[in-house]
Amino acid sequence: MTNALPVPIDENEVLDWLGGQFLGVPVSALIMIVLFALFVFISRKTAFGRSVFAVGGNATAAQLCGINVRRVRILIFTLSGLLAAVTGILLAARLGSGNAGAANGLEFDVIAAVVVGGTALSGGRGSLFGTLLGVLVITLIGNGLVLLGINSFFQQVVRGVIIVVAVLANILLTQRSSKAKR
């Protein structure tokens, strides 16, 4: 349809506002803070939030406890899609155009941030604050590598090494905690 070219967004007050600033703070950052607070509340104070962790940790045990695992998974995937759409809208507002390839490669950073933040890839363990810390660490490392003039291909290698180290640390911590429980 567009021959892989960005589609410019004509003047749109809502997108202009979303891509702009409010009191000197990017609107997208304010939206992230609000969503972060909302999901901290949901994960800690609601039955749904506890169900998500239960299903992620052990779906069979969660089902035996009366949790509708299929429903929780459908809701989580729906929520993931909704948040991806919000992210796409914010990115389009920031760039002033719709570009299908604008976020290519960011999934690697997302995985790295989540793993560095202490979330188990096997599920059932993690925290939003840990993930936020992981995002800050990965962002700082990425910015540092750019400022040092490091080749973008080597930056991916560094991120990959970070993921491997974080996964290994996660495995070691899991083994230690399971030994301590015995």
What letter represents residue 13's amino acid?
E
Same domain, 119 and 44: no
Same domain, 95 and 117: no
Domain boundary among 35, 70, 100: 100
Element counts in the chain: helices (H) and strands (E): 8, 4
Same domain, 12 and 61: yes
| In-domain check, residue 129 | yes
Same domain, 84 and 164: no
| Number of domain units in the chain | 2
Same domain, 93 and 161: no
Same domain, 109 and 74: no
Return phi, psi of residue 42, to 5°.
Answer: -60, -45
At 22 the three-state DSSP class reads strand
pLDDT for res 118: 84
**Is there a contact between 93 and 16 (Cβ–Cβ < 8 Å)?**
yes
Both tokens assigned to 57:
């940790």
| In-domain check, residue 2 | no
| In-domain check, residue 1 | no
Is 108 exposed, middle or buried (CB count within 10 Å of its CB: 0-12, 13-18, 19+)? middle
| In-domain check, residue 116 | yes
Token pair 């400022």 in the structure block, residue: 147
Which pTM value belongs to this model? 0.77
- Is residue 19 within a helix (H) or strand (E), and if so which, with residue range? none
pLDDT for res 163: 83
Domain boundary among 65, 100, 135: 100
**Closest by alpha carbon to 138, among 154, 152, 158, 120?**
158
* Residue 146 pLDDT greater than 80, yes or no: yes
Same domain, 150 and 89: no
Q: What is the dihedral of CA 7, 10, 12, 17, to 10 degrees?
A: 70
| In-domain check, residue 74 | yes
C-alpha distances in angstroms, 109 versus 25, 112, 114, 155, 156?
Answer: 23, 5, 9, 11, 9
Same domain, 94 and 142: no
Distance CA 67, CA 157 (A): 40
Same domain, 19 and 94: yes
**Which of 11-20, 39-48, 109-118, 145-154 comes out lowest in average pLDDT?**
11-20
The CA R_g of the chain, rounded to the nearest whole Å, is: 19
Same domain, 71 and 109: no
Same domain, 121 and 42: no
**Which of 27-41, 139-153, 161-175 comes out lowest in average pLDDT?**
161-175
| In-domain check, residue 45 | yes
**Structural domain of 176:** 105-182
* pLDDT tens-place string over residues 95-107: 877 777 777 778 8
* pLDDT tens-place string over residues 106-143: 888 888 888 888 887 776 678 889 999 999 998 998 89
Distance CA 27, CA 147 (A): 26
